[in-house]
Amino acid sequence: MLLLVAAIAASPQQPPPLTFIGFRAGMAVAEARSLITKSGGSLSCKQTSDSRLRECTGSMSFPGLVRPLALLVSSVRDSVGVIVLSTNMSEGDTRAWVRSLTQDLGKPNYKVDRGSRESWEWIRRGQMLRVVMQRAGRLLETAVTLTHGPLLDALGPPENKKPD
């Protein structure tokens, strides 16, 4: 028993998964749709020229935001490969999201581009969560992107179309 306790204490604690308001890369599209519907939003999907992929767009409300979150989902065989949630919001609200994510996920990689764009990025086990805040004139656009690298990497090249 003592050896088991020592082994547990010595093993590094796994960091929490990369999630944002219930979304995570790799989740089933049906699960993402359920989260969106529960918030009063909608999601519509269409097949792409590659039969393995679908692109979905939609929107959902989020407490404290004046404007809804716009959604863009790229799915691979009905799993979310990439999801982007974006809106125009205040700098203070964006920084509050980043502070909350930093408390939950640890210190991010931080980058400033040309003074008009800032990004915070967490990478874990082939997954990435990125928050980008960009000034566009008087507007401040914020986007949160969740990406599942292994799912996208396993996709490989497009399926060959059969000749007519």
Set out the domains of the chain in order of their start, with CATH numbers. 16-155 (3.40.1000)
pLDDT score for 12: 63
- Quick one: pLDDT band at residue 161, thresholds 50, 70, 90? low
11, pLDDT greater than 70: no
Q: 24 in the Ramachandran plot: left (φ > 0), alpha (ψ -120 to 50) or beta?
A: beta
DSSP-assigned beta bridge partners for residue 69: 60
How crowded is residue 130: how many other Cβ atoms within 10 Å of its Cβ? 19
What pLDDT, on the 0 to 100 scale, is given for residue 136?
A: 76
24-28, 58-62, 84-88, 157-161: range with lowest mean pLDDT: 157-161
How many percent of the chain have pLDDT more than 70?
A: 89
pLDDT at 162 over 80: no
How many other β-carbons are positioned within 10 Å of the β-carbon of residue 89?
21
Q: What is the pLDDT of residue 137?
A: 73
> pTM, whole model, 2 decimals?
0.85
